[in-house]
Structure 1
């Protein structure tokens, strides 16, 4: 069941105007949200202004649930996945930016799946452990909330002017890497696949040239409509040709469409941001969950004999699962052992497993052709994302990695202050007021909200903020709650599935929202259980009134509360999803 929200006014435009006292045209307008602060001598996104906070009592009730029909499904299935007690924090976004490490440029809370990273595969997700009590291996993740007691203390913060921002550059188009996501490429398909991989590189280079040469052109949506949109369409066609070429000789790869969408990152926002003392008060005590960094193997196998492809692919999938197991161990064993624990208990065994698996790959290929040499050198893995040390260079954004978190508060791209752990996370699968629901497909990707309403426009933004006791109203501003009430975020996900795809090029077209007034799904879609995630926080009242809590965001958003969003990958088993569907369709409350 979806919240129907009557928007009495939209605040994202006002937020942007208040946050930045100037505008730039076209691409410059996108970068205008990035303001350089002198605090601690680092380049930071400015805090959300006080005007983006509102007493919840001043928000008109606007949540109206569609009336249920007899044909509808009114049940609710609740899942308890905890409140991120394991401390699984990451700036990866495996739904919107698969394969791009640190791609979110802000930190997410993760609950559920323990091994998920930007590089996870469906097979590795299915083999993972979970924080969910019912065994649900799905991944649920959202931007963290921080307290920054330095925010809004200056009435006239030092900021950069438009010329300074222009000098920071037009941004860089970054796309998910493809070669290292492919299965074994049969020898007869290798030339065609390589031509299309080279074409993907040229398409991205052309888009980056357009960013530079078109500065000053068009309106606020110019980059999305004239550069990123056409690039996505070209990548869809090229990825399809790659899949067809491989499919002529062996099993056709699926899921490549997830790699079609690209982002513009503004790496100037990272300039000078290299950790150091926390700026938002006492360190939060959080430690970023490190992940295993292993040499890629798929892109080193350029032409595999067709008869060896199946066995090679089985072992490539095994390598993915081995990495996932190691990542899960890093989460579940935090604080255990001495200084050599990770090397002896995680990286050492992983290396031994990889040596054996890589040897089997070499043997399988060698039975049908020339045995590859040098694969053993790919067995050694290390850690990344430890929260200290030098960040990757800004140029890495074009190749699959952006700068990572720094310092004791896991700061990244202007997101500073102590991270708040939720006091409660309520995950619900709900029905549809007009019809019975069918099962979600396993590995369905879904997202709600818009992480970049300033640069992409607010069409997909959804009001999500409220206070406990006031859930009859949602706002796109930060709420100030009365004593005894907790700050809340309520995220309703789309629930009208196209009946075929688990993802789409823009990560939205395959699953859409029901009609806000009736709850009915659009023609050509079927209702699946609607995911609702409610997140509660205990934030001191003075922090709320002083405008000193804020959402992690992309740097150009300046902690815009309208940039709130949530992501989900369904890894429920077929049996578990059947339980959810039966509960919801029977009108029961289960969990």
Structure 2
């Protein structure tokens, strides 16, 4: 019989095989864990997609610490604060460039953050030196130089649709091919607005937002506006000033309030109505001598807010300029269909005159990275204004328009027309109208801006019907929570006196109201947007629109004639008719996080449950949203930004076990391999 000459493995050989297996298995576990960590937690290696970045630049905001800057130091401090914004914008552009170059690779955070930290440290030292000349510098300023890369959604077509399955990817690829060949999408598709040239993704803004999670169907939002109760001595009147819709096309990326004397201090474009002399270098005298678009020439006040754009690839006047396309603010600027500027009374008592040249900023342009403490803009749709969103853009039905509402602070400290951080001289009234100690009630400005824009097609990243979003600082990614508005009071003193008398006497006054017109006994008036009537002012904690509609009402409450004097026609700006998109295309389902939240902490003694909407938002709506600009996710929504922070915050500590086990296996395999080699000798 033949012998089997195959050698059986010796003990040393078996040990060698086992050691190799342990090393390979342990190394595999470590590699898997490293890959998971790179995509799930804040790592030094930040994944970068070919269509955009997976992070934004998050830096501490010095204005939160600089609440009291002596007048002598303020010009220098304001200039240096603007330099900090420039540095962040440059760092974010560097992050985008690195993402494009990496094309799916990784980036060391130090390449972006180390130069930024050095620049910020030098600028902060100059701020401290300016303060040292006239007062003691605040402690801890030097600790605010450190920034981080904060993970967020990759703004790809998949992220925008929220449905990255292979079948939909194939459909999108086929759609892109048809577009490239100039073929029609189908009988229902329309030509894109603007110059007719489509850009892949959301109008060339891929990587800079917005994304599908930034939108919510207004019909999915429960009514959340509560009217504030009025006391017997409440000032129930209103005064409306008509200043047009910026048909004149006055835009710039300056910010006279926050960055005086600094060109491009806002890093995004503003719409201006009212005063036409407003730029970064305008003096008080310039404002007083400037022209105004207001019907009553006694109102030369400046009202301005970030423009709304369609992400359709249209090259606007600022396409290659700072503040515009260079900083991620691209696409067609939409002229509002309607702008309403109303001054309202106080739920508790009479109001006093605003001081001339009073400056107020409401909302926070950096709320996405700062958190939503000072966020104070509301989004809704005509016919649904009893439903307000704070951190989502609304998807409106085809017969409804988009509405932005800004309810300004109405308690003044009685001394200052501005403050170092442009906030502390003003405060919000509590739900009952009471102001903080030492503050007095002044007329409450409510701005309501309406746009005839269609609900975007989220399923294809806005290719069919373009996405819309407000301009923002580049690192704020066009999040709706960053919306804000600015006001400088340049009312003639006689007109301001008339305004206050009108409000305190319970009358509804405006450019179309006959002198001496009174709406009755001066008590609460019936609500509604039209007919010159004024709705009961809401509690400022909810920052809601001034005229909520009945739940489920689909009819526009303020139908307007087809043509208006001094206004540009809006036809064609929305990309055609506004079909109601299918349910699966209407973005994130509205959860409690979409409801309005308190703009400020209620004053001492104010009940926590100012209204049902506020209470619900504060208890459940902020879950998972603190510090992320309010982009929380609800059931059925598109994916929300991934959690930030350390292991305790993200839960990634539980995910370390593969690396631990892998490390043990790897080390054991190495030891076993060494010992087996020795025995083999």
TM-score (normalizing by structure 1): 0.51
Secondary structure in structure 2 of the residue aligned to 1:116: coil
Match of 1:88 among 250, 270, 281: 250
Is 2:432 the counterpart of 1:513? no
Secondary structure in structure 2 of the residue aligned to 1:541: coil
Matches within 5 A, 1:511-590: 511-515=426-430, 517-542=431-456, 548-590=467-509
C-alpha deviation, 1:85, in angstroms: 0.8
Q: Which residue of 2 aligns with 1:54?
A: 216
C-alpha deviation, 1:139, in angstroms: 0.3
Match of 2:386 among 472, 482, 488: 472
C-alpha deviation, 1:126, in angstroms: 0.5
Q: Which residue of 1 aligns with 2:334?
A: 420
Match of 1:500 among 404, 415, 427: 415
Q: Which residue of 1 aligns with 2:565?
A: none
Q: Which residue of 2 aligns with 1:29?
A: 148
Q: 1:470 to 1:92 in 2, by over 3 A?
A: same
Q: Is the 8 A contact 2:364 2:482 kept in 1?
A: yes
Matches within 5 A, 1:364-375: none
Distance 2:496 2:356 in 1: 9
Q: Which residue of 1 aligns with 2:301?
A: 138
C-alpha deviation, 1:96, in angstroms: 1.5
C-alpha deviation, 1:518, in angstroms: 1.6
Cα-to-partner distance string for 1:415-467 (whole Å, 9 max, x where unaligned): 11101000000000110010100000000000111100123222101241111
C-alpha deviation, 1:522, in angstroms: 1.4
Distance 1:57 1:42 in 2: 30
Distance 1:531 1:435 in 2: 16
C-alpha deviation, 1:42, in angstroms: 8.7
Distance 1:522 1:565 in 2: 23
Secondary structure in structure 1 of the residue aligned to 2:148: helix
Distance 1:54 1:86 in 2: 32
Q: 1:412 to 1:139 in 2, by over 3 A?
A: farther
Rg comparison, structure with higher value: 2
Q: 1:145 to 1:490 in 2, by over 3 A?
A: same
Matches within 5 A, 1:381-420: 403-405=322-324, 411-420=325-334
The CA RMSD measured in Å over matched residues stands at 2.9
C-alpha deviation, 1:20, in angstroms: 6.6
Higher mean C-alpha displacement, 570-579 vs 65-74: 65-74
Q: Which residue of 2 aligns with 1:252?
A: none
Distance 1:538 1:57 in 2: 18
C-alpha deviation, 1:24, in angstroms: 7.7
Unaligned 5+ residue runs, structure 1? 1-16, 150-279, 289-386, 392-402, 406-410
Matches within 5 A, 1:5-404: 21=54, 27-29=146-148, 46-135=208-297, 136-149=299-312, 280=313, 282-283=314-315, 287=317, 403-404=322-323
Q: 1:413 to 1:24 in 2, by over 3 A?
A: closer
Distance 2:289 2:155 in 1: 44
Secondary structure in structure 1 of the residue aligned to 2:287: helix
Secondary structure in structure 1 of the residue aligned to 2:340: strand
C-alpha deviation, 1:48, in angstroms: 1.0
Q: Which residue of 2 aligns with 1:443?
A: 357
Distance 2:155 2:503 in 1: 49
Q: 1:438 to 1:30 in 2, by over 3 A?
A: farther
Distance 2:422 2:505 in 1: 30
Cα-to-partner distance string for 1:313-366 (whole Å, 9 max, x where unaligned): xxxxxxxxxxxxxxxxxxxxxxxxxxxxxxxxxxxxxxxxxxxxxxxxxxxxxx
Q: Is the 8 A contact 2:58 2:369 kept in 1?
A: no
Q: Is the 8 A contact 1:31 1:556 kept in 2?
A: no
C-alpha deviation, 1:29, in angstroms: 3.2
C-alpha deviation, 1:133, in angstroms: 0.6
Q: Is the 8 A contact 1:449 1:461 kept in 2?
A: yes
C-alpha deviation, 1:565, in angstroms: 0.2
Distance 1:23 1:415 in 2: 16
Distance 1:422 1:147 in 2: 12
Greater RCO structure (CA 8 Å; 6+ sep): 1
Q: 1:86 to 1:30 in 2, by over 3 A?
A: farther
TM-score (normalizing by structure 2): 0.45
Q: Is the 8 A contact 1:413 1:555 kept in 2?
A: yes
Q: 1:521 to 1:23 in 2, by over 3 A?
A: same
Distance 2:342 2:271 in 1: 17
Is 2:595 the counterpart of 1:433? no
Q: Which residue of 2 aligns with 1:327?
A: none
Distance 1:35 1:96 in 2: 31
Cα-to-partner distance string for 1:284-332 (whole Å, 9 max, x where unaligned): 5xx56xxxxxxxxxxxxxxxxxxxxxxxxxxxxxxxxxxxxxxxxxxxx
Secondary structure in structure 1 of the residue aligned to 2:491: coil
Distance 2:327 2:247 in 1: 25
